[in-house]
Amino acid sequence: MAAEQFTVKSDPELWTRLNMDVERFKNMPPMLTQAYTSIFLSQKNRPEGMSYFNDCVANIHTGRIDELMAAKDEGKPVVGTFCVYVPEELVVAAGGICVGLCGGAQGSIADAEKILPRNICPMVKSAFGFKVGGICPYFQAVDFVYGETTCDAKKKTWELLDAYVPTHVMEIPQRKGARDKVLWLEEVKDFKAAVEKITGNRTGLDEISGAIRLINDKRRALQRLNTLRHHNPAPISGLDMLLIEQIAFYDEPGRFAGKVNELCDELEKRIKSGSAVAPATTPRIMVSGTPMALPNWKLHNIIEKSGAIVVNEESCIGTRYYKDLIDESSTTVESQLERLTERYMQIDCSCFTPNDERMSQVVKEYRESGAQGIIDYCLQFCHTYNIEAVKLRQVCEKEGIPFLAIESDYSPEDVGQLQTRVEAFIEQIQG
């Protein structure tokens, strides 16, 4: 898509129907248009298959919202989530639609800080601000929200959020022992019952099986794409991969998986023909750490504008979301819930203690991706990931892996400083 043809669409009538602050929100589409054009459409030799994902961004506040509202009119509730620990399969099985609500923008944080403390995670503030400010069509479209207890800021914010939209909180275990798995299985069963109450639909073996296959297919497509992007020279940029991973949280799962697989077909051809987005000599960076909710593209943009390429994301927006599948062979609902629980317990969130599995997973993904250095990204005031970076640095030093820890928020104020540090790190890798 030519840059001059790209526009993030507006629909004030739809936004009014959603009871949004239209006067404020009308400035968002042109701002996003400018950012997307300068960051994404300025890239050279992008795969043609990225046109679908361009369209997803163009319709992010309109076309996809129209689909959600049409589903609601048909009696299908829209359920919002904030964490990869919330089992979306059970929402789909009950006939609902699952959308991610994490905030990745600076513009809503001032709204949140009128209520919340300033010194907490920007992702929590951004999401909460979108709701209290009435400036997110997805937040306005959801019928129900599922939070979780992966951090203190989240679990206390959900208490306040419940005053604005019905919010159910899932208790996430902090360890991975036998007793913790029992707790999580009971939480999953409670979640299933709560979703069934919202949707009015009972979910049995067939419904859950279909939902597991659908979400597994989405994750298989992302696994395939991530494997292809590891090729050197890279057939797709880290920025484009990050965008696709972000879109995975709000697009229709079956359509999304199909478009990702179409892109993979194209990438396989590009690899065979030697077509790439960067030369084979380009420094290869793996990013680990906290999630990057749309439209948080700051670090990837800095890295790739500095002459390197991002080849893997070990984060909740990346491999933590799609590296594991659910066993599809269960013949009873009880077994399905057990297999689902086992799959979600493999997520290496920093809320767990100890979290040695994550250390091993980071090194594994680093080797598989052909990366030459790791940048560990942590949002400000995310204490668990910030402290865990100490241990991760020690592991990387032992393995001989170049490592850089970065702490940031959503504001552009530290871009210059971050660029200087990233450029120095790239020079270190290049020797």
Query: CB atoms < 10 A from the CB of 22, how many?
Result: 17
**Whether the predicted pLDDT of 1 surpasses 70:** no
Furthest-apart CA pair in the chain: how many Å?
61
Average pLDDT of the residues in 272-279: 97
370-391 residue pLDDT tens: 999 999 999 999 999 999 999 9
Percent of the chain with pLDDT over 90: 98
211-262 residue pLDDT tens: 999 999 999 999 999 999 999 999 999 999 999 999 999 999 999 999 999 9
* Residues in Cβ contact with 387 at an 8 Å cutoff, skipping those fewer than 6 apart: 350
**Whether the predicted pLDDT of 153 surpasses 70:** yes
Query: CB atoms < 10 A from the CB of 346, how many?
Result: 13
CA quadruple 311, 314, 320, 321: dihedral, nearest 10: -40
| Separation of CA 244 from chain center | 9
Average pLDDT of the residues in 304-318: 98
* Pair 375, 422: CB distance under 8 Å: yes
Give me the pLDDT at residue 253, please.
Answer: 98
Closest CA to 236 of 311, 161, 348: 311
Average pLDDT of the residues in 312-335: 98
Separation CA 377–CA 2 (nearest Å): 32
* Pair 285, 303: CB distance under 8 Å: yes
* Predicted structure pTM score: 0.97
Give me the pLDDT at residue 3, please.
Answer: 65
58-109 residue pLDDT tens: 999 999 999 999 999 999 999 999 999 999 999 999 999 999 999 999 999 9
Separation CA 193–CA 151 (nearest Å): 24
Read off the tokens for 328. Answer: 């599809």
Reduce the DSSP state of residue 320 to 3 states and report it: helix
Give me the pLDDT at residue 306, please.
Answer: 98
Give me the pLDDT at residue 431, please.
Answer: 80
Average pLDDT of the residues in 147-175: 95
* Residues in Cβ contact with 176 at an 8 Å cutoff, skipping those fewer than 6 apart: 345, 352, 357
**Whether the predicted pLDDT of 368 surpasses 70:** yes
Residues paired with 378 in a beta bridge: 407
Strand ranges (DSSP E) for 294-389?
309-314, 373-379
Confidence of residue 335 (pLDDT cuts 50, 70, 90): very high
Read off the tokens for 352. Answer: 């767990």
The enclosing H or E element of 49 equals none
Closest CA to 24 of 121, 149, 145, 110: 110
Residues paired with 314 in a beta bridge: 288
Read off the tokens for 114. Answer: 């009128």
Give me the pLDDT at residue 46, please.
Answer: 98
